[in-house]
């Protein structure tokens, strides 16, 4: 299995992108976020991203408390915790890495600040963006939206042919994101992805553990 090195150790391996659970308390129906994440981890989630846009209205200490709780939880399950586009939060909770978009801080700058031992993910919608992110030092790419999605109002839909071209163009692993569900994930067969990133497909479900287990089986079937 291909791994990405940092010094004498390893930042992560691509198998940890297989079922990438992205949090959004808007889908949890008032249930405990950590409780829902733990259910996802029990069901086979291999990476967790803290993407809590609703928390941005709270003060930093409140946001940090949530992130630290998730950090403690994911450490117990030996799963990386990635913070979405919040450098201060990533540093303060000692997250495993940071994910940034095209309009955020470039990967090379993130690496400069966070150091060589952290995972850096970059969103990409085109082959050109993907190649640049790889050159800038990204460890993985999040490509999408591969299906229509309600989780991000301004998401640009990426054709599956483009997703396949991106997977061919770069050496770093690629995770598909955006509108993915147990019902449509089979349509991504043959694209070359290393995993899927999902929000509602896990956290909007009544039983996140079972949802994660089903997704894992569906992704295994298209690898």
Dihedral (C-alpha) 162, 24, 122, 110: value to the nearest 10 degrees?
Answer: 170
Whether 6 and 13 have beta carbons less than 8 Å apart is answered as: no
Q: Is 56 left (phi over 0), alpha (psi -120 to 50) or beta?
A: alpha
Catalytic residue, candidates 25, 71, 118, 152 = 152
Catalytic, 118? Answer no
Report the C-alpha gap between 190 and 142 in whole angstroms. Answer: 17
Closest CA to 79 of 124, 26, 119: 119
Catalytic residue, candidates 25, 71, 123, 218 = 123
Catalytic, 123? Answer yes
Catalytic, 51? Answer yes
Catalytic residue, candidates 11, 14, 25, 51 = 51
Whether 101 and 73 have beta carbons less than 8 Å apart is answered as: no
Q: Which residues are catalytic?
A: 51, 123, 152
């Amino acid at each position: 299995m291909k791994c990405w090195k940092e010094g004498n150790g390893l930042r992560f391996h691509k198998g940890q992108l297989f079922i990438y659970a992205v949090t959004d308390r808007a889908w949890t129906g008032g249930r405990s976020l950590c409780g829902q994440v733990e259910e996802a981890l029990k069901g086979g989630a291999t990476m967790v991203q803290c993407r809590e846009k609703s928390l941005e209205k709270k003060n930093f200490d409140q946001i940090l408390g949530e992130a630290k709780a998730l950090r403690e939880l994911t450490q117990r399950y030996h799963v990386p915790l990635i913070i979405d586009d919040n450098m201060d939060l990533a540093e303060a909770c000692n997250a495993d890495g940071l994910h940034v978009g095209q309009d955020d801080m470039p990967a090379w700058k993130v690496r400069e600040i966070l150091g060589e031992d952290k995972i850096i993910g970059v969103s990409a919608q085109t082959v050109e963006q993907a190649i640049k992110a790889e050159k800038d030092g990204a460890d993985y790419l999040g490509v999408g939206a591969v299906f229509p999605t309600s989780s991000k109002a301004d998401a640009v839909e990426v054709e599956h042919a483009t997703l396949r071209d991106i997977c061919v163009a770069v050496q770093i692993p690629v995770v598909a994101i955006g509108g993915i569900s147990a019902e449509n994930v089979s349509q991504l067969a043959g694209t070359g992805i290393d995993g899927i990133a999902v929000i509602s497909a896990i956290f909007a479900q009544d039983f996140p553990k079972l949802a994660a287990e089903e997704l894992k089986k569906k992704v295994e079937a298209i690898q």
